[in-house]
Every structure is written in C-alpha cells, then in structure tokens.
Structure 1
Amino acid sequence: MKKLFFLLFISLSLVQCIAIKSTTTTTPVSSLSNNIQQINPTKLVVGIVIDQMRYDYLIKFYNKYGDGGFKRLMNKGYNLENVHFNYIPTYTAVGHTSIYTGATPATHGIISNNWYDKFSKKYIYCADDDRYSTVGAKSGGNKSPQRILTTTITDELRLSQNMKGKTIGIAIKDRAAILPAGHTATAAYWFEGNNEGKFITSTFYMNELPSWVIAFNNSGKANTYLNETWNTYYDISTYTESLADNNPYEGLYKGKNTPTFPYNLAVLRKLNNNYDLLKAVPQGNAITTDFAEATIIGENLGETKFTDFLTISYSSTDYVGHLFGPNSIELEDTYIRLDKELEKLLIFLDNQVGENNYMLFLTADHAVVPVPAYLNSIKIPGGYFESKEFEKFVNEITLNYFNSGELIENISNYQIFLNKEKVKSLNLNVHNVSQIIADEIINFDKVYKSVTAHTLQTTSFTSGILKTIQNGYNQKLSGDILFSLEPSTIKHSKKGTSHGSGYNYDTHVPLIFYGNRIQKGKTNKYYPITSIAPTLAHFLRITEPSGSTNELIYEILE
C-alpha cells in the first residue's frame, strides 16, 4: 500500500511540473506581438545631414553654442567621435546616398554629383530624370531617385509597414532631398531659387503641391529672410576661432568689394540671382527648419501607429564653406546660427511629436579641406590641380606610346575614360593602354596615386587611399583609370575651398544618435559612414537596405 501511494504521489508531481513548465514557457502570439510593439514605439525618425560639416566644428565652436542645439545632442545623446567616409569621392550626392543605403558607390551607383556616362557619351546629373516634370515652378523639377541602384533605409521602412507610414525628404538642394528619401518616398521637396523662391517637387511624387506647401510658399518667408542684414550673432571681436574678417583666402558675393560683415542681403540679392542668394547665407538653413516644421504639421508626421521618416539636409553650410573656407568668420557664424536652428527644431519635436516618441541622428555628407593657399602661407604643403594642363599631359602620353591622340574619350571626376572603339581599331590591348597611362600620370604635378580599373577588379586593397578609391569604383559606371591628388590639393580657385578626397579633412564627420531608446554616451571607436543605415534597420527591427555592408554600431543597439 505504501509503495502504491508513493507511486501515485510521484505521478501527480510530474503532471504538476509539466503543467507549470508549459504555462511558463508558452507565449501566445498576440502577447508576443504586443511586446514587440512596446519596445519599438518610435513614431518619427528624423535624419539630419549637415552639408560640409567637419567633426571638429563640434569642438572648435563648442563654447559659442547654446545648451539646446549641438550641446543637447552631444550631452544627452550617443556621440560617435571617429566616423569617417570610406570611399572617394566625398561629394554631396554620394554622401547622402551612402548614409541612407549603407553602401558605397561601388554598390549603390551614385558615383558623383555629375559624371560622364560612357553609354550615352554625355554628362549626367545624379537626380535628373526627363520622364518627370516640375511641380510648383516653371523648371527645376525633372528629377527622381532612379539612379540609386539599391534600396535605402527609408525604402525598407516603407516596405516593412506595407507602404504605410510616410517618408519625406527636404533640403535646399534637390539631390539632398531626393536621394535620402529613396524610391518609395511619399514626397521630396527642394528650394528653387532664381526668381522663384519656392519649395518644389517632381511628378515622380505627385501632380500638384499639397495645400500646406502652397501656403508656405505664399507666406513670404523667403522674401523676408532676404530683406535682412547678415551680421555676426555675437560681437565680431569674440570670433577668435577664425581668421580676420578680411583675409585674402575668402571669396566674394557679387556686389561686395571685401569679404566683410555686414552683408546687406536686400542689396546683394539683386546681383546674386535673387533667391539663389538665400541658399548661400545662414538664412537658407533657417527656412529649411521652418519648412521641416511645416512638413511635420502638414503631413501629421508622428501621429499614427506607423513610423514616419523625415530626412532633412542643411545645405547652406556647404555654400558658405565653399565661398569663404573653414577658417572664416562667415563659416563660424553660420554654425552658431545653425545651432539655434537645431535648438528650435528640437523644441518643436518635443512639443509636436513628444520627447519620447522620436529619434534622430545627425551627421554630414562630407567634410572639407582648409584653403590650400592659407596652408601654404603657414608652410603646410598643399596646392591646386591644373586640369587643362593634365589633359594635355595625358594626350602626350598616348601620342608618345601609341602614336594616337584619340584614345581618350573623357577626363572628369579624377577618372580617365578610354575610347574603346579607337583602342580596338588600333589593335591595342585596353589593359595595357590603361596601365601605361596610370604609370605615367603619376609624374604629373599633384597626382599622388593612380590605378587601373583592371587592378581594382582583380586586387583587394585593405587600407589607405587605394582602398577608398576601390570603394568608390563602380565597375559598370566608372572610368578605366582612376587617380587621386596629393593631400590638401584641390581643383578650385585660390579663394575658398572644396572637398572630394579620401583624406581625414574630407572624411571625418560627426555622428550623433538622440531620442527614443538612445542612451547617453560616446565612443572614439572607428566606424564607417555606411554603418548608419544597417544600425537604423536593427534599431527599427526591419530589413537592411539591399546593398548594405551590415557593419553595425552595437553601442547604440545595446
């Protein structure tokens, strides 16, 4: 009897254990779905790209910033201090595309702002598309994102929500609005200058502007900004981080005899293509913020159960940087004023969307080199590339080696395209011709590295300038010989500056994540710019863009 009782007790215990185990390990599908929703409540993602911002501007002008803009993001967000572009060329279209695709030009296909198309035998622009027409103005809108060969993070967000949720791109520059918003964007808007002074779009997105855009364009904001006088935000004597106001390394607006404050915009607009001037002064960033806020309200972004995405590019920093250089008071004041715009935008997001309902990231599409003439004045090497002389030099090479001056079809974007038909007609070997030219052009003044397309296809470079050239080389679209210049050397006038290289001054940019589910912190670990898109994909729990390198920033994911 005792034995029977003991066996009965053991059986009942086992049944109870099995019952307990089954209730603690089985989760209904509906509960799992609710848990996923609870840990991913981001209503709005905001991507902010500042055109031509070097990382050191965060530090250099830190004491001039208020507490609510850059400082708020740096001190309350996650600040990545060692983020670099990992390809050449570092241009606007390429930068925006690489940020949002998580890929380099080798994969996504945007190899420059403009480039020579070896199939149509003409120059093309990254966003031009004659299949579409302008909406909102007389011209400037025959655009689309169709030259991007991969998906963007903004595409993947739309796809993951069955095309629900909205994605909208805005900027002064068309390419900076169109390319980040991707193929599936709800809309992209950019500023048409000259005598228009309006935000416009393309029939790729819609056939007429929404009423809120029309109302914004009719508000007179653009005109109001151009009736202002641009003076320094603080007393000009305190701008000790920059060179003197009147120095020989700055360019000029038409109508000014010296590059000095104040700038009477109402007078200058008459000589600088009217509303085009707004692009090249800090007020261009101000109207971008105004339009971003109008977009959020007009499109009810962040107000549904779906996640919306707003891409914003502040473009005026690039225009000012090109004209005056990174050591100018004009550039410093532009960033001081941009800091105020960021503060205004963040306060607006807090109130309109909710402080815990949005996340954003801030980065740049490229950085910039100091004016080479200024570097020379303080005994730092640098200089200027003479492109016309280079073309003559290359033609002399082909005459000397192959007795022909017709082997070169095009030279642009630091690439050489061979006339393949002529090479073939002379019974020459393309690889042999390319290699001889690559070996010889290294002897031209300021050319520092050269490599053939064949070498890039058959060799894997792991570091240095040749690696960045390889990441920027697209087998289908790029030329037959690629080259880069010596450090601090540009193709530009001796006043103002440019960018495009693989050196640190062009590649090192800020990256800060802030907002919903982003912890405070910072790291000086190296990350390529192509880490942003796959990291956002994992943050949003969606598929990475189709060409993404999938290099994640694990710190913010933790």
Structure 2
Amino acid sequence: MPKKDKTMNKVIASLLLALMAAPLAAQTSGDIPKLVVGITVDQLRTDYLQMMQHLFSEKGFKRLMNEGLMYENVTFDFPKPDRASATASIYTGTYPSYNGIPSNTLYNITRKRVESVLFDISKMGNYTDETVSAQNLLTSTVSDELKIASDGFSAVYSIAPTFEQAILSAGHAANSAFWFNEANGKWATSTYYNDIPAYIDVANRENSLSERIDTLSWQPLLPISRYTGLPYLTQDFLFKHVFSKYKQQKYSLFKRSGLMNEEVTRMARTFIENGGLGSHSLPDMLNIGYSAANFQDKSIQEYSLEIQDTYIRLDRELGRLLDLIDKKIGLNNTVIFLTSTGYFNGEGKEAGVFNVPAGEFYPRRATALLNMYLMAIYGQGDWVEGYHNREIFLNHKLITDKQIPLEEIQTRAAEFIIQMTGVQDVVTSYLLLHGQWNNRIDAVRRGYHRKLSGDLLLEIQPGWEIVYENIDNTRDYVRANAIPAPLFFFGKNIKPQHVMRPVKATAIAPTVARILRIRSPNAALESALPEIY
C-alpha cells in the first residue's frame, strides 16, 4: 500500500475514533451534577421520620422519601459513634482506626487533659477563640478528592452548628468550613482555611444571631393537639424557651434548640445566592450540618414535644433548602445526599418501678482501685494516667522504666476491672494489635486508633449509667441497641427506590465519588452502592 494511502487511513481512523468518543465524553460529563450537597443530620432516626411523617410538609422529607433513593438503615460498624467519628466515617469512607477520629474528644497523655479531637494549637480562629483544624484527620475525604480532581477549581464549603461537622465534612482542601460560635452567635472558621468570602463577613456584622436572639423564643410550630408522633410519650402542656433569660448561656442553649437549623439554612442561602455554586465548568460541593438532637441533649421523656417540634422544623428547613437549590441551580443539575450520624443521646433511664436491671459505674473510683491493685503488684507509682470515654490509660513511661511487659500489666489490669459490677467486657490494646481476630474484636478494632486510644477499652452493661463525679455528676446512660439511621440520594439521574437492606456508612463517600466521576477517598473500604448505577 502506498505511503500516502496509509497516512490517509490513519487520519480517517483517528477521525472515526474522535467521532465515536465525542458522544461518550459528552454523555459522561453531562452525567456529572453541577453541585453536590451533602447533608449530615446529627442523631437523625429513621423510625422517628416514619412516626412523624404525618406532621411533615410535602416539600421536605416526604419529597426525599417519594422521589429519592432511600436506605432505611445505615450501619457504622464500630463502637460508640458520635458526631465527630460518624461524620469522619461518612466523608472518608473508612473507620477511626484509619482516619484518626475515634470520638469528639480525646485524652491527651502529654498534657494530661481531655481536648477536642480537632485541637490544633498552631491555628487561630476567625470570630472564635477555638483553635481547631482538619490536621488530625489522617485520610482524605470525598471533598478533598473533588478538589484534587478539579485541580482546585471546584468550590467546596461546609457549614454546620458544630466545628466537628463543619471541618470533618470539609476535609483538608476545602475553601473553608464555618460553624456556629456559641460564645458570640457569629459564624466562625479557622485560619487552617484561607477563603473567607466577603459576604460571610457582612452576614456576621449585619445579620448575625447576636442582633436578634433577645427577641427570639422557641414555641411549638403547630397546634399542640397535632404532636402525636411519639405515641407512648404524652405531654399536654406547651413549652416556651425564651433565650434572653439565659444570659451567658443563651447562644449555647439556642444551638441545642430546634431553631438552630433555621440559622444553618439562612447561612446556606447566603452561600448559594452569593457564592456562584453550581455555575462553574466543574462541579462544586456544599456540605451542610443539621441537628435532630433533643433540647439541651436531654431525654425524650423530659422533652417529648421539643423533639417532635425539632423534626417538624427540620422538615420545613429541608423544604426551603430544596426550593432554593431548584430556583438557583436546578434540582436536575444537583445531587443531594442526606444521612445521619447513627447514634442518639435522647434515651432516658427506665424508672426503677419496672425492675429492669441497672446500676451506676463510677470511673473515678474504678481507676483509683485499679491503681491501688497495680501498686500492690508492681510497687508505688501512678500506674493509671486517666480515664476517658470508657477507656483507661496506663502510665507507659513508668511501665517502661520498671521494665514491665506491656501485655502483662494490661492483662492484669483487665482481669481486675472485669470483676467490677457493671463491667460487661474489657479489651486490651495489646490484644487488639496482636491477638486473634473474631467478630467482637474486629468491631472494637475498627473504632480503635493505636496512637490515640487507651490501654483498656471497657464495655459497660446496657441499662447502667456512667457517673462522672468530677464534672457535676454528669451521667452517661448506656444502651447497646442499634439506632436506625437513614440515607437518601436525590436529584440528577437518581431513580426513586426504597431499600430495606442495611448499608455501611463507609459506602457513602465512594458512592458520591462515583456520582462525581472522581477517585474515592484514599482509605475508602467499600464500592459505590449499586442502586445509583
């Protein structure tokens, strides 16, 4: 074949390939939404959504249930999920053993104090004196991966009532993360992030809660007769919480009220209307944190009307948010995912008249007795460094100086603690790292981080209360039952479906990554959920 013909054939082949690839490329880019909105609702329960469905509008949760992809039960598969560990798991697609976020707070052995898991003394706060950042988050988030894939061009913002929700959903590479400062009513951020839009400064100066809170009160949104969402909890008197009377605590109590979600939506509106989200050539991401916790983190027995009103108001805020997105960007250009942090603090202790086995466990007394026991074996010394979040920390420097094998002293300590009334089980860190694996150990291991967690991990019997004597006798009521947590996907190319099978929280980030056509976070363990294909 002449050389000229060969060259012509190559050109024709290249053109044919380009023509075939063009529709495919167009289809792929067209499948990607212009905006992803990630919504994490702290302590949201599927069963409460179902029981209160008759109280909802047609534009909020009902819309997600009827027009979206709904999973009834998200599992977190590690012990004691809380606001920080759950949010981190959702956005990183992995467990605390990898991402370094086992709980809201940690016991710092060096400083001998409890501090935030996000504490970072090297950073300053804007509109806050809190020194926090994403530095201690050890793996990437799906928000980070969008920034990386777009070479930084995608805008990524997060807003939430708490810095844990805001920072852990934003990740390391976001433009910025904002949370509500309960000291002054402003929206705060960290110098870890370098983008503070001018319109946020304006909102803080001219329209912050500090200008309005003294005129606000929280009362039932609907007539009292309609609050029938929790049929076993009947309360026939109205509530009215006037925040101005709380003085120094007014912002703190507002933050824990059903009105806080309205402030979050107000800030989300500011970003959507002023930030150009969804108008760029590459997709943007807005992460929003809401709360479905009960007032002041009290039990539903104490505040049964408040928890229902919180859900009703949250439903209205969700409807407002969806309408705003539809108006500004278009729901057909947006994918929204909404999920829960998978735990609930609102269960109260059963009355003694029902004879349900119960008791009180005092960590301070338990650790004092343990220290005395270890002194009887190994000699004088402060063998126990501290206790936090059902974990006991031993004095590793003293153990090393005395040349005592760590496995030996941990085993002796565990054998002593497990004999105490109310202790269901004790697992040592040595066993987690070096012992045989089984389902029980595997679950504990997922929530354990070798550089952050304690030497002894305690399981307290369900029905018992942990009483912290050194902080106003704060009580932690123990229940081991799972909380049903929902997951919704809604918007562009999402087909309505109701899925009953349990799904892992660690599958959420890979699913969002699949929707965006980007890599999953670098420690993500699961594949995307098949229903979105």
Aligned partners of 1:239 and 1:226: how far apart in 2? 27
Change beyond 3 A, Cα 1:454–1:264: closer
Which range is displaced more, 466-475 or 208-217?
208-217
Return the match for 1:307 from 259, 283, 301: 283
Return the match for 1:265 from 230, 233, 242: 242
Whether 1:243 aligns to 2:233 is: yes
Aligned partners of 2:100 and 2:479: how far apart in 1? 18
- 1:487 corresponds in structure 2 to 462
SS of match in other structure, 1:56? helix
Change beyond 3 A, Cα 1:527–1:502: farther
Aligned partners of 2:130 and 2:287: how far apart in 1? 18
SS of match in other structure, 1:513? strand
Aligned partners of 1:166 and 1:382: how far apart in 2? 51
- 1:68 corresponds in structure 2 to 59
- 1:253 corresponds in structure 2 to none
Aligned partners of 2:66 and 2:29: how far apart in 1? 28
Contact 2:294–2:346 under 8 Å retained in 1: no
Return the match for 1:87 from 78, 85, 90: 78
Aligned partners of 2:29 and 2:415: how far apart in 1? 59
Whether 1:318 aligns to 2:293 is: yes
Contact 1:371–1:497 under 8 Å retained in 2: no
Whether 1:100 aligns to 2:75 is: no
- 1:475 corresponds in structure 2 to 450
The residue identity in structure 1 corresponding to 2:449 is N
Paired positions, count: 518
- 2:3 corresponds in structure 1 to none
SS of match in other structure, 1:179? helix
Return the match for 2:222 from 219, 231, 234: 234
Shift of 1:285: 0.9
Aligned partners of 2:174 and 2:46: how far apart in 1? 29
Shift of 1:166: 0.7
Task: Give the share of equivalent positions with the same residue, in percent.
Answer: 30
SS of match in other structure, 1:112? coil
SS of match in other structure, 2:257? coil
Structure showing greater Rg:
1
Whether 1:33 aligns to 2:25 is: yes
The residue identity in structure 2 corresponding to 1:100 is Y
Aligned partners of 1:50 and 1:492: how far apart in 2? 28
- 2:114 corresponds in structure 1 to 123
Aligned partners of 1:309 and 1:429: how far apart in 2? 50
Contact 2:336–2:489 under 8 Å retained in 1: yes
Give the TM-score normalised by the residue count of structure 1. 0.85
CA RMSD, 1 decimal: 2.9
Whether 1:205 aligns to 2:205 is: no
Gaps of 5+ in 2: 1-10
Whether 1:415 aligns to 2:391 is: yes
Shift of 1:53: 1.7
Whether 1:185 aligns to 2:174 is: yes
Shift of 1:243: 2.3
Whether 1:547 aligns to 2:523 is: yes
Change beyond 3 A, Cα 1:367–1:555: same
Aligned partners of 2:398 and 2:159: how far apart in 1? 45
- 1:147 corresponds in structure 2 to 136
Contact 1:322–1:497 under 8 Å retained in 2: no
Shift of 1:153: 0.4
Aligned partners of 2:211 and 2:363: how far apart in 1? 39
Task: Report Cα offsets for 1:222-253 as digits up to 9, x if no partner.
Answer: 5435523322222323433152438xxxxxxx
Aligned partners of 1:93 and 1:312: how far apart in 2? 14
- 1:4 corresponds in structure 2 to none
Shift of 1:28: 5.3
Which range is displaced more, 404-413 or 151-160?
404-413
Return the match for 2:418 from 442, 451, 463: 442
Aligned partners of 1:78 and 1:436: how far apart in 2? 51
Change beyond 3 A, Cα 1:296–1:461: farther
Aligned partners of 2:293 and 2:369: how far apart in 1? 32
Gaps of 5+ in 1: 1-18, 247-259
Shift of 1:551: 3.9
Change beyond 3 A, Cα 1:96–1:406: same
Shift of 1:160: 0.5
SS of match in other structure, 2:349? helix
Aligned partners of 1:549 and 1:537: how far apart in 2? 13
